[in-house]
Structures are given as C-alpha cells and as structure tokens.
Amino acid sequence: VEASIPEPQRDAWKKFQAKPFVSKDDFEKEVVRHVETTLARSMFNCDETAAYAAASLAFRDRLITEWNRTQQRQTFADTKRVYYLSLEFLMGRALDNAMLNVGLKNIAKEGLSELGFRIEDIINQEHDAALGNGGLGRLAACFLDSMASLNFPAWGYGLRYKYGIFKQEIVDGYQVEVPDYWLDFNPWEFPRHDIVVDVQFYGGVRKYQDEAGKNVAVWEGGEIVKATAYDVPIPGFNTPTTNNMRLWSSKAASGEFDFQKFNSGDYESSVADQQRAETISAVLYPNDNLDRGKELRLKQQYFWVAASLYDIVRRFKKSKRAWSEFPDQIAIQLNDTHPTLAIVELQRILIDMEGLDWDEAWTIVTNTFGYTNHTVLPEALEKWSVPLFQNLLPRHLQIIYDINMFFLQSVERKFPGDRDMLGRVSIIEESQPKMVRMAFLAIVGSHKVNGVAELHSDLIKTTIFKDFVKIFGPDKFTNVTNGITPRRWLHQANPRLSELIASKTGGLGFLKDLNVLNELEKFADDKEFKKEWAEIKYANKVRLAKYIKSTTGVTVNPAALFDIQVKRIHEYKRQQLNIFGVIHRYLTIKAMTPEERKKLAPRVSIFGGKAAPGYWMAKTIIHLINNVGAVVNKDPDVGDLLKVIFLEDYNVSKAEIITPASDVSEHISTAGTEASGTSNMKFVLNGGLIIGTCDGANIEITREIGENNIFLFGNLAEDVEDLRHTHNYGSHTLDPDLVKVFDLIKSNAFGDAGAFGALTGSIEDHGDYYLVSDDFHSYIQTQTLVDEAYKNQEEWITKTILSVARMGFFSSDRCINEYAEMIWNVEPLPVGKESGLGKEE
Ligand code: CBF
C-alpha cells in the first residue's frame, strides 16, 4: 500500500518536522515532557530509573530523527549496502554511547544536574543489552559502531532474544546461572508491527515439471512462525549517519490462542502454539566456542536468516533492477557459520520463487556472501545432522545436496581420481548419522573467506581449510585482523585518558583516526605528561578497588600491581594456568622471610568471566579461583602482597570499569587456539601492558608496539602438535613447580581436593591438551620479569605511553575499511557536511 503523503500536504509536514534538541534547555524540556507524559510521573515521584528512562527517550527521539534521514538518504542514493548477519550483538549500554556519539554528553550532564540527578547514577540504571557470549558478539557491536561512524550504508540483522546471556552469581565459590530478562524496559528499540515475515518449517517438497518442461520444487505444509522486526538505531560518532540493527522476534502465526481448548479447560495446550513459536527467539545459547547441535538452535538460525533475507530481497525488488545486479547492490557478511543457511535460502528464493536458473542464481549467491571464520577449535565448528535437517528444512537439504554435487563435480574435474579429497571436502560428512558441515558450505557459497588475525588466517589455510585453498586458490582466503571501537573502549570507558590525549593531539580527531595516537610518542619521556598519565591510571584503579570492595567485600590496595584476566572461562584460554601461577606465588610468599617479602611488588590477581552452564571443567576453574581467594585473602602472612578476586557477572558495562584499571592483563591461550582476542587490544589502548602467548592478535600487537613493551612467553603454535604427541605417546613429566602447586591443592588447602581432581587430572593423567605444564615454567619466569619491571615505574609508564601511541592499527574503523575494500566492494555515503555533532567534547 502506498503510504506516502501527497505532494500538496508535504509542506505542512516539513513545517512541523521533528527537530532534534541541541541545547541544554531543550534537552531538559524533553526529559520533563517524557517524565510527565510518556512515563505518567511528576517531579514528586521521579526516581533515578524514571530519569534514566526519560533521558533515554529524549536521546532516542534524537537518534530516530537522524535514523529516518539516514535511511531516506541511503534509499535515494541507491548505492550498495552491507548487511551484517550475526546471531550475537553484545551491545552493552546505549545511553552513554548515544550521548557521546552525538556529542551532547556535557549538555546532558548539566541538564540532568539542574533537574536534580548525577549523570553517572543515571547511566548506571541501564541494563546491558547482552545479546552475545563474548568476543564474536562484541566484535559485531564494534563493527556496527564503525560502519555508522564511517558513513557506510549498513544494517545489522540479529535475533531479539527475550533472555540475553545469563547473569552469573557466585554462591559458595560456584557459578550459578540466573536468567537475564533485559526487556523489562528497553527504550532503544522500535517495534515494527508492520514488518512481519512468515517463516516456514517442516512440511515436504513436491516436485514436478511445468508446461515448459522446467523442474519445479514446491515446499509445502509444515508450520508458519511470524517474525516481527524490532529496530535499534546505531548512531555514528560525529556524523549524522544513524544505521539500523534489525532484530527479529518470533510469534505464532495465528497470533491467538485456541479458545475451544481454553473453554474446555485445556489451558495448557490452548497456548502451546504460541509458546512453541515464541521459544524460538526466547534465549541466547550460552555457549562460546562450542557447538551443541540442538534443533532449537537450528530453528533460530533459519528463522533469523529467512526473515532477514526476505527483508533484503524485498528492498532490492523495490529498485526494479535486474537480478544480476543483486551483488552490485548488496553485500552480506556471515559472522561465523551461524548464518550459513542464508546461502541456501537465497539460492532457494532465486530458483524456487523467482524462477532463475541454477547457475545464474548461484553466481549471484556466491558474489553476494562473505564468510568470517572465528575459530579453528574443532568443538566449535558447526555440523548439523542430516535427519534433523531433513525434518526441519526439507527443501534446504535438497539444495545443499545439489550445491555439494556441483561442487564435488568441479573438484573431480580439477583433481581427477582423488577420492580422498572428495571425502575430505564434501559438505556432507559420511558419518552415522550424516552431517552437514556448515563451514564448508559457507566457503563454497562465498566469494571471500577471512580469518580474524594474521596467525589465525594462516592457520585456517594450512589446517582446517587446506584443501579448499587448493581448490579455489589462495586469493579466496584473506585476513582482516580484528579491531575495537575507540569510542566505547577509550572515550567512554576512560574519559580522563581520552581528555588528556585530546589535549595533546589537538582534539578528538584521534577517535576517528586512531593513528593520530602516534603523536603521543613524543611525550613518552615528558615528566609532566607522565605524571598526569600515571594519575589517571591510579584513579581508574581506585575506582575498580571501590567496585571490588562493594561487590566482594575485599579491600585491595590500588598501589598494588593489578593483574587482570577477564574473558569467557575456557580451558584453551587457560585461566587454570593463571590460578596455578597464583598458587605458586602464594607458596613463594609463604616461604619468604619478612625482609624478602618487603622487596616483592604487591599484586591483585583479578579474574572474571562466565562458564557455559554445561561446561563442567570451566566451572571447576571458577570454583578453584574462588576457593584460592578465600584462603589467600585472609592469610596474615600474605597481607597486601597478594589478593585474589573473582568478579561476578562480567559483562560489557563492567569491562568499561575493569579495562582502564589494569597494569597487566593476561591473554595466555595455548598458542594457535585463540583466533584473535580483542580484550588484549582494549587493555593496551587503556595504558596496560600484556602478558601473553604468541597467539591471535597478540602477535600483531607485539609487532606494532614493540617487543620491549609486552611480556611474551610459552611454546609456539608450530610446536603444539608435536608436544601433544609426546604427551600421549612419549614421556610426560610435569613441571616440578606445578607439581608443588598440585600437592598443595591435594592437601585440601583450598577445600576438598576431590572437587579439583578432574582439573589436575586433565594435566597429570589425560595428556595436558592445553600444554599447561609445558608453559608453566616460562609463565612463572615471565611473571617475575613483570614484578621486576613494575618496580621501575618511570620505565613502566613510558612503556605504556609508547604502547598506546602505537595502537592505531587496532581500531575497528581500520577493519571496516578493509572489509569494505577487500570483501564488500562498498563505498561510504558522504553526508554532505559533517553535522557538527560530537564537536562538544
Ligand atoms: O573474532 C572475534 C572473536 O571471536 C571469538 O570470540 C569466537 O567466538 N570464535 C574468538 O574466540 C576470539 O578469538 C575472537 O577474537
């Protein structure tokens, strides 16, 4: 239906067009209006929650005005758009980010103060949008920020989970999961009840030949679930460009419950359809780097992909262009294999619904998609059982078989007679049951495949995807090293540091061109500058110390070295290596004379992160950390020399407090297992040093900042396989210091040793897959170097300044420009004149 206002009435519209506020008074007016009308409250019952709601609504109005203009501009320009498909968007809080990106935080601060509130308290009211597990989801959030900031016409597509990642509570040292119902009040989303897509599941396929002799396949029967769009505006920094993140929510097709069943007393089954449909978008799967192969997860994937593609194709069809132009207008990036079904769905739309030939359709499909691989861990590579697929998505399975057949025929032509090769690269694994290998499907259906750091991109080419390099040639595979948005991870998380940098580099330009940080090199030995730099770090540590006190009750000394490891708990990330190191330090302190103790730099070892609810070993590691803390923190021999803290419920907003407060942070994965890591970048950007292995982006960070400014240790990726082989088939003697640590654990020093038997046993008796013992000595030695280096504060500060100065490469803006050039072939859409937004601070 044409809903456009007729020409004669448009002047009235223009006259009364919504105008975003720009002054403090207008902002206050908006806040009061929202309190008194939208929220139906008054100055007599306006608490901080209401003030947060009203301030957010005021900013939301602003964003949506710019959002509308951006969408109109992009539609009129009719240039190529990017669609970023991600099952996870770990956005964190929106208000602070919106205020900073539109450059009106000072106005809001003053305005709120005049209305009786402190801006920090208001910001703290917001519930994190935690629609992700860890690095992959947070990367997607950084990319949205960069795409908007760089004026790329780009949308994110995801799922609107009712429950984000669970909240973690620590009870008696154990992780307990609590649901995170974050939608109670979410002012940042716009339900689009007019944008609803029918998504089909189950049913069967009828095939026949039409009058022209063409084979036709009709997918019929089964059930329909409705996908409703919810839009979230994504403001760029210092630009009016406001992009869109569209999240889909599921509902039963009928929309109503069965009255007959209800009346006859069968209450439960009267709402069963709704409940079953709503379950699809109900919960985020809480596994990071782990595939569980559950049917509901496959349902989520198809639901989201089908709705998104319907939307994308609908928009394209409005332009009335030829289908062959689809890839000139649209680039779709697959964030990991989760959206791989999009490849099959687009092929299905083109051949079954739009009547294109297979080859013509397949050319369009492969030119449209790009696939990012985020892991080489075998347990994380998605596979779906063929019978499950057959039942849920019968037509898609047929298409996958056809894709595979044509692909294998081409392989056969290239490598005649190489049957092993055919078996290795087949999209269908000939197991019992047969499995669909999603990564292979993603490679075959995309024109580019990228890894997320140099080492990782090399590894995928030489290990898991080695055959595909032979088949498609090396050019199909590329690297885009990850990055982070400096807006959130410096400007928002560390405002004082951002201000200091601005004062020395001529303003906030560095937030748009992070290479400007280079200018800080000349201050690396500047006494005054170093003093200010150190004061800021100290203030950030004081802030974290207060937070630790308020949440754990433990007092930590802000002058101690803060050593932080916050990330998902996983054996490959080796929090166990860290805690064993802490126990070793504890033993060392206990054995020291009082004189020796005086020479030791006090340390606070801080951990944080969630374990997947079914990942027992990871939960055991959390338990051990907490139990070690309980003993060490009250040992009078130790005092301030060592404190061990586990921060509950690590999330994005907590990361904003934790990251600026590190002296060192730990990125100590077994070499070759962490694809990139991104918190390593955040910590260095905030003036902390790293202790790390030669893994993921640590390697490039070292190259950029210089090896004098990082503490590297451990075996290299190229040696890992041989070491594992030796463990299993040769001799495996444990490091003697690690044996002492295990002896202490076994003496029940940290509670019943039986609770930790599986953990120590995995290293002693089960092959030490993650090389904890092999790297232990080097880790302990390197930690001693950290202690020594920290004593020389002058040099330490210089190292941190030089490191920050050299971090320009790790901006997610650089990544997005690389994706745009190498993969998407898309240009930014100039905004005319920069808006003047963001100029304030
Ligand atoms: O590329 C972003 C991040 O993705 C992961 O978190 C993932 O889920 N596969 C990797 O583990 C990280 O190394 C990587 O930085």
At 125-164, the pLDDT tens digits run 999 999 999 999 999 999 999 999 999 999 999 999 999 9
| Average confidence (pLDDT) over 473-477 | 98
| CB-CB contact of 486 with 815 (8 Å) | no
What pLDDT does 837 receive? 41
Question: Which three-class secondary structure state does DSSP give residue 250?
Answer: strand
pLDDT digits (tens, 9 = 90+) for 87-108: 999 999 999 999 999 999 999 9
Of all protein residues, the one whose alpha carbon is nearest to atom 9 of ligand 1 is: 374
Can you say whether the dihedral through the CA atoms of 705, 708, 713, 716 is positive or negative?
positive
Residues 370 and 241 in one domain: yes
> How many whole angstroms from 193 Cα to the centroid of ligand 1?
34
What pLDDT does 260 receive? 77
Please work out whether the CB of residue 695 comes within 6 Å of at least one atom of ligand 1.
Answer: no
Please work out whether the CB of residue 452 comes within 6 Å of at least one atom of ligand 1.
Answer: yes
Residues 471 and 545 in one domain: no
Residue 45 lies in a domain: yes
CA distances from 184 to 144, 168, 275, 279 (A): 24, 19, 19, 18
| CB-CB contact of 376 with 675 (8 Å) | yes
Reply yes or no on whether the pLDDT at 470 is more than 50. yes
| CB-CB contact of 510 with 535 (8 Å) | no
Q: Which atom of ligand 1 is nearest to the CA of 377?
A: 9
Reply yes or no on whether the pLDDT at 835 is more than 80. no
Sheet strand arrangement including 428-429 = 383-385, 435-437, 428-429
What pLDDT does 263 receive? 77
Of all protein residues, the one whose alpha carbon is nearest to atom 6 of ligand 1 is: 135
Residue 789 lies in a domain: yes
Residues 776 and 669 in one domain: yes
pLDDT digits (tens, 9 = 90+) for 255-285: 666 777 777 888 777 788 888 899 999 999 9
In angstroms, how far is CA 371 from the centroid of its own chain?
A: 16
Question: Which three-class secondary structure state does DSSP give residue 139?
Answer: helix
Of all protein residues, the one whose alpha carbon is nearest to atom 4 of ligand 1 is: 136
Residues 469 and 537 in one domain: no
Residue 6 lies in a domain: no
Q: Which of 90, 138, 374 to mutate to test the pocket of ligand 1 (most atoms within 8 A of CB)?
A: 374
Q: Burial of 754 by CB count in 10 Å (0-12 exposed, 13-18 middle, 19+ buried)?
A: exposed
| CB-CB contact of 655 with 682 (8 Å) | yes
| CB-CB contact of 106 with 354 (8 Å) | no
> How many whole angstroms from 671 Cα to the centroid of ligand 1?
14
Which helix or strand (DSSP H or E) is residue 262 part of?
helix 259-263
Residue that finishes a domain, picked among 418, 446, 479? 479
Reported in sequence order, the residue ranges of 76-143 that DSSP labels E, i.e. its strands, are: 81-85, 89-92, 129-131
Residues 362 and 428 in one domain: yes
Residues 316 and 252 in one domain: yes
pLDDT range class, residue 254, cuts 50, 70, 90:
confident
> How many whole angstroms from 642 Cα to the centroid of ligand 1?
31
Residues 333 and 453 in one domain: yes
Please work out whether the CB of residue 381 comes within 6 Å of at least one atom of ligand 1.
Answer: no
Of all protein residues, the one whose alpha carbon is nearest to atom 15 of ligand 1 is: 677
Residues 426 and 538 in one domain: no
**Which residues are bridge partners to 525 per DSSP?**
none
Reply yes or no on whether the pLDDT at 1 is more than 70. no
Residues 242 and 344 in one domain: yes
Please work out whether the CB of residue 672 comes within 6 Å of at least one atom of ligand 1.
Answer: no
> How many whole angstroms from 680 Cα to the centroid of ligand 1?
12
CA distances from 822 to 155, 164, 458, 818, 825 (A): 19, 33, 17, 6, 7
Residue 269 lies in a domain: yes
Residue 840 lies in a domain: no
d(C-alpha 115, C-alpha 122), whole Å: 12
What pLDDT does 256 receive? 65
Of all protein residues, the one whose alpha carbon is nearest to atom 2 of ligand 1 is: 136
Please work out whether the CB of residue 479 comes within 6 Å of at least one atom of ligand 1.
Answer: no
Reply yes or no on whether the pLDDT at 311 is more than 50. yes
Please work out whether the CB of residue 90 comes within 6 Å of at least one atom of ligand 1.
Answer: no
Q: Which atom of ligand 1 is nearest to the CA of 452?
A: 1
Residues 467 and 557 in one domain: no
Q: Which CATH number belongs to the domain containing residue 266 in this structure?
A: 3.40.50.2000
Q: Which atom of ligand 1 is nearest to the CA of 678?
A: 15
Of all protein residues, the one whose alpha carbon is nearest to atom 12 of ligand 1 is: 677
pLDDT digits (tens, 9 = 90+) for 550-568: 999 999 999 999 999 999 9
pLDDT digits (tens, 9 = 90+) for 197-215: 999 999 999 999 999 999 9
> How many whole angstroms from 374 Cα to the centroid of ligand 1?
5
Residues 573 and 698 in one domain: yes
User: Average pLDDT of the chain?
Assistant: 96
Residue 123 lies in a domain: yes
Please work out whether the CB of residue 128 comes within 6 Å of at least one atom of ligand 1.
Answer: no
Structural domain that includes position 573: 532-800
pLDDT range class, residue 839, cuts 50, 70, 90:
very low
Residue 818: count of CB within 10 angstroms of its CB: 17
The residues assigned a catalytic role are: 374, 567-568, 573, 678, 682
Q: Burial of 108 by CB count in 10 Å (0-12 exposed, 13-18 middle, 19+ buried)?
A: buried
Q: Which atom of ligand 1 is nearest to the CA of 696?
A: 13
> How many whole angstroms from 335 Cα to the centroid of ligand 1?
10
**Which residues are bridge partners to 85 per DSSP?**
157, 334
Question: Which three-class secondary structure state does DSSP give residue 222?
Answer: coil
Residue 171: count of CB within 10 angstroms of its CB: 9
What pLDDT does 255 receive? 64
Q: What percent of the chain has pLDDT over 90?
A: 94
pLDDT digits (tens, 9 = 90+) for 4-31: 899 999 999 989 988 889 999 999 999 9
Reply yes or no on whether the pLDDT at 840 is more than 70. no
Please work out whether the CB of residue 132 comes within 6 Å of at least one atom of ligand 1.
Answer: no
Residue 61: count of CB within 10 angstroms of its CB: 17
Reply yes or no on whether the pLDDT at 832 is more than 80. no
What pLDDT does 264 receive? 81
Reply yes or no on whether the pLDDT at 768 is more than 80. yes
pLDDT digits (tens, 9 = 90+) for 803-815: 999 999 999 999 9
| Average confidence (pLDDT) over 631-659 | 98
Residue 496 lies in a domain: no
pLDDT digits (tens, 9 = 90+) for 562-617: 999 999 999 999 999 999 999 999 999 999 999 999 999 999 999 999 999 999 99
pLDDT digits (tens, 9 = 90+) for 776-811: 999 999 999 999 999 999 999 999 999 999 999 999
Q: Which atom of ligand 1 is nearest to the CA of 456?
A: 13
Please work out whether the CB of residue 457 comes within 6 Å of at least one atom of ligand 1.
Answer: no
d(C-alpha 837, C-alpha 679), whole Å: 29
In angstroms, how far is CA 320 from the centroid of its own chain?
A: 36
> How many whole angstroms from 159 Cα to the centroid of ligand 1?
19
What domain count does the chain have?
Answer: 2
Residue 341 lies in a domain: yes
What pLDDT does 2 receive? 57
> How many whole angstroms from 13 Cα to the centroid of ligand 1?
47
Please work out, in degrees rounded to the nearest 5, the angle formed at the alpha carbon of residue 572 by the alpha carbons of 569 and 576: 60
Residues 475 and 555 in one domain: no
| CB-CB contact of 101 with 236 (8 Å) | yes
What pLDDT does 312 receive? 98
Q: Which atom of ligand 1 is nearest to the CA of 482?
A: 1
Lowest mean pLDDT among 15-19, 42-46, 246-250: 15-19
